A and B are shown apart, each in its own frame.
Chain A
Amino acid sequence: METKIAVSKNVTESAESRNKMEIKNLSVFYRKFRALAEINIAVHPNRITAIIGPSGCGKSTLLRSFNRMNDLTPSAHMDGEIILDGENINASGVDVVDVRRRVGMVFQRPNPFPKSIYDNVAFGPRLYGIRRRNDLNEIVEKSLRQAALWEEVKDKLHQSGFSLSGGQQQRLCIARALAVEPEVILMDEPASALDPISTLRIEELMRDLVQDYTIIIVTHNMQQAARVSDYTAMMMIDDHRAGRMIEFNETNVIFTNPKDKRTEDYVTGRFG
């Protein structure tokens, strides 16, 4: 399988500011099985980058690499560099907990803690030592506002997080991630468990958030990737079942005139 990927020149040598994150020659192994092979990707600041590809191609494994969540799987190890603001965070001695604060994550199924709405959002800041009530109140309100949830919950902050609808719970999880002031937000199919209206709300929220944050999203919904992202990375498994990136470009190019036939086949639904 060819290792060269079709990348637009102006995507890597952009006049925009330096990349927020980069992945260089990343391979991820589960024991001896190579799940990801030689991934290279640049993530532009204040943009949404989508990762698409067929089931099992390693999209979520790649997403979890950005904040070293793969470390939590005992059999996993990673070779290669994961760069955040110019520094390799896949090196020994790196404060992984701080990495996961700076690079937050929202998961496919909403997973609020079994706590009140307030305490869900305040949980992270409290862990970081913020104790004063006023400070916490401010953080909770700001985070819930940013997650476009404040107006719906401001009068019931002490109700359980589970009392919310699915869409609201997901926005609560987003607020929880925002409360610790991340720089990058990773979203693993954030709307796939939600109804269409909630999905569109999450997408609108992403477009609002990207003004202040950098977002990387994994989605199997191509129309969502097309609607919401600025850049799209197309992944596929090779003959050895390792996930590889085969094309990376501006979203409008990927969906109107992709360069690689495999991308074309996938986005037009001919793949299979």
Chain B
Amino acid sequence: MLRKTFETEIKQVKDDVLLLGSMVEESILNSVEALKKRDLKAAQKILEGDRAINKKRFEIESELMILIATQQPMAHDLRLLASNLEIISELERMGDYAKGIANINIRMGDEPLLKPLIDIPRMAEKGVDMLHRALTAFVNEDIESARKIPVEDDEVDALYNQVYHELMMYVIQDPRTIERANWLLWVAHNLERVADRVTNICERTVFIVTGDLTEITDTDNEFWHPHKHE
């Protein structure tokens, strides 16, 4: 096979992206679990884990730059490597969202949770599940699967709406809860953004295969968001 070395290197990059993805998935789930249990030590570990995520991201970026410089990728190869650069950036931002949740946990200190977490863990599980399948679709260049995932963002948005309304009820009934409500709203916001970024990954998968870079828009059933694809 021609370009066997290049093919091997591309496979290595894909494996590294999957590894980065699993680090991020774990970080998101652990950050919410730690918040649920008010486990500040676990939260601290998430912060350390984020450094590892950032380091991995830069390593992959460096691999990609070397491949681009030395292999002169064209057409599909070029789209693939360029998309990898985008995707690792999306993953790193998702890692930051997990870090943000861990930070909130730490800042809350001894304060109890305003309410038991029910919808927030659901958002995390749903987002991580979407991410996992999006990354699988990405490495397999499965555009059929990639196209179907973004619409599931509606579920995450619906959960976010629920969390928002519930927390607002708390605040209306007792304004002193505003700070604790705000913390939880930020956590929900971060998880909602995770799901949004999964859509970006799906769009890149379609781009790699077809060469078309278009938004896969979800339905209108969504809480208003000022920055859809930050």
Contact = CB atoms under 8 A, between A and B. Distances in A.
A and B from one assembly?
A: yes
Contacts, number: 35
Nearest to B7: A270
Interface in A222-272: 222-223, 226, 255-258, 263-264, 267-272
A269 B3 contact: yes
B79 A257 contact: yes
A101 B76 CA distance: 41
B2 A256 contact: no
Contacts of B6: 269
Interface residues of B, number: 13
B72 A256 contact: no
A226 B2 contact: no
* Central interface residue in B3, B6, B76, B79, by most chain A CB within 10 Å: B76
B211 interface: yes
A223 B79 contact: no
A270 B2 contact: yes
A272 B78 CA distance: 20
B75 interface: yes
Given A256-B211, A257-B211, A267 B2 contact: no
A264 B3 CA distance: 14
Contacts of B75: 255-258, 263-264, 267-268
B210 to A, nearest CB: 8
B3 A268 contact: yes
Contacts of B1: 270
B74 interface: yes
B79 A271 contact: no
B74 A267 contact: yes
B77 interface: yes
Contacts of A256: 74-75, 78-79, 211
A255 B74 contact: yes
A177 B211 CA distance: 40
B76 A264 contact: yes
B73 interface: yes
Contacts of B73: 268
Nearest to B79: A256
A226 B72 CA distance: 11
A222 B75 CA distance: 12
B3 A226 contact: no
Interface in B158-181: none
Contacts of A267: 74-75
Interface of A: 222-223, 226, 255-258, 263-264, 267-272
